[in-house]
Structure 1
Amino acid sequence: MKLKPKDIESLANRIEAKRLALGYSYSAIARISAVNQGQVSRICRGQFKTASGNVMQICMTLGVDVKLDEPADLSRIREAVLNLWDGTSVDAERITRLLSVVNEVRRTT
């Protein structure tokens, strides 16, 4: 999703503030989030235009609330995932692994 310049600035500031508060280096975030260190550096400095998977992964890793206008389809996707989940941690792990595999397939095709 393409972001407005003010949204990029706001999100980048929150990401960088959280990174500093946690004392994480770019390389530490890269290891934890599985995002390339160069991408981590650019994202932390606000050099991105979309709420890409890497931006979202870094936000999740740092515990940064994205607070963006949700795309119309997001609620439909959320509902579908919640319908799959039986409420247990084990099932949450299974669904997470399944979605990771789907993401990998999408990246390679």
Structure 2
Amino acid sequence: MKLSDKQLDAIRAKIAKAYTKKRITNAAIGRVAGVHPSQVSRICAGSFKTLSHNVVQVCMALDVKLPRSEARAERSDPSWAQVQSSIRRIWDETPEGAKAIARMLEAIADLKVKS
């Protein structure tokens, strides 16, 4: 997702606050998020320029809420907005739930490639 500098700064501040509050190690966050501890360290230090998959995973592990792009997606592509809405309905907002949904979608994609 493309974010403004202001939005990125707000996310960096939320990550820093959650990281300080939770007082857990980079390795522990990495295990929950499925992200290497060195990347967790970099992300928690605010050294990122985009909202990458790893940043999202770390945010989920730290319970940091991210801005949603629903309105923009619905205006630009109604089909994609429908997909996002369906995924949000089945996701329980946990890293494990996200991984399960990703595995399911990858399995469907593999079936499409084979047929």
TM-score relative to the length of structure 1: 0.68
**Contact (CA 8 Å) 1:59, 1:65: kept in 2 or not?**
yes
23 and 79 in structure 1: CA distance in 2 versus 1, 3 angstrom threshold: same
Is the partner of 1:55 in helix, strand or coil? helix
Cα displacement (A) at 1:82: 6.0
Q: State the shift of 1:96 in Å.
A: 5.0
Give 3-state SS (helix, strand or coil) of 1:19's partner: helix
Q: Is 2:37 the counterpart of 1:37?
A: yes
C-alpha change, 1:18 and 1:29, in structure 2 (3 Å) is same
Taking the TM superposition and a 5 Å limit, the aligned residue runs for 1:30-69 are 30-69=30-69
C-alpha separation in 1, matches of 2:46 and 2:102: 27
Q: How does 1:1-109 map to 2 (within 5 A)?
A: 1-70=1-70, 71-72=72-73, 75-81=81-87, 85=90, 96-100=99-103, 102=106
Shift of 1:15: 0.7
> Which secondary structure state, in structure 2, belongs to the residue aligned with residue 67 of structure 1?
coil
In the TM superposition, what whole-angstrom CA distance separates every residue of 1:35-72 from its partner, at most 9, and x where no partner exists?
Answer: 01121111111111211111111111111111254451
Count of residues in correspondence between the two structures: 95
Between the aligned residues of both structures, percent identity stands at 32
The alpha-carbon distance between structure 1 residues 76 and 18, as it changes in their structure 2 partners (threshold 3 A), is same
In structure 2, the residue matched to 1:89 is none
Q: Quote the offset at 1:8 in angstroms.
A: 1.6
Q: Distance in 2 between matches of 1:6 and 1:37?
A: 26
Distance 1:68 1:82, change over 3 A: closer
Amino acid at match of 1:64: V
- RMSD, aligned CA: 2.8
User: Partners in 2 of 1:40 and 1:51 — Cα distance?
Assistant: 13
What is the TM-score when the length of structure 2 is the normalising length?
0.65
